[in-house]
């Protein structure tokens, strides 16, 4: 049993290695869907501020900014847009693309967002 756990842990770590090596700082093309399913697009810029934290600015018709944090292949950002507070959680793909799901406090539903590196 311990051998199986160790083998699984090794495989998981190997799969995470490529995405963990991806530098997330830079400019991105944004493609997403709103809570109602309508589409939006724009740009985003991520500025790395430490080995695990960063700042993010989106320009998708309106501008919003937030703080972000990386943990292996997981990448999360909290943001404020007007009076709304939101959260987005991305998976960092090996090609540098960030594949995310987001929501806004007090609202039903989940939106999607894909950040595609343009650097």
Average pLDDT rounded to a whole number, residues 70-92: 94
Tell me how crowded residue 82 is: count the other CB atoms within 10 A of its CB: 7
Question: Higher pLDDT residue, 119 or 39?
Answer: 39
Is 66 a residue whose pLDDT tops 60? yes
Name the one residue in this structure whose structure tokens are 């919003």.
Answer: 64
- The secondary structure of 29-77 as a DSSP string is EEEEE-TTS-EEEEEEEEEE-SSSEEEEEEESSSEEEEEEEEETTEEEE
Q: Please check whether the domain covering 2-117 is classified as CATH 1.25.40.10.
A: no
CA separation for the pair 49, 95 (Å, rounded): 22
């Amino acid at each position: 049993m311990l051998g199986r756990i160790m083998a699984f842990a090794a495989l998981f770590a190997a799969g995470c290695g490529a995405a963990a090596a991806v530098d997330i700082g830079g400019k991105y093309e944004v493609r997403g869907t709103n809570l109602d399913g309508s589409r939006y697009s724009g740009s985003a810029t991520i500025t790395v501020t430490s080995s695990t934290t960063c700042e993010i600015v989106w320009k998708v018709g309106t501008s919003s900014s937030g703080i972000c944090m990386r943990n292996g292949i997981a990448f999360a950002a909290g943001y404020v847009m007007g009076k709304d507070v939101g959260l987005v959680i991305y998976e960092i793909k090996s090609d540098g693309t960030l594949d995310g799901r987001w929501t806004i406090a007090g609202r039903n539903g989940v939106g999607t967002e894909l950040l595609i590196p343009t650097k």
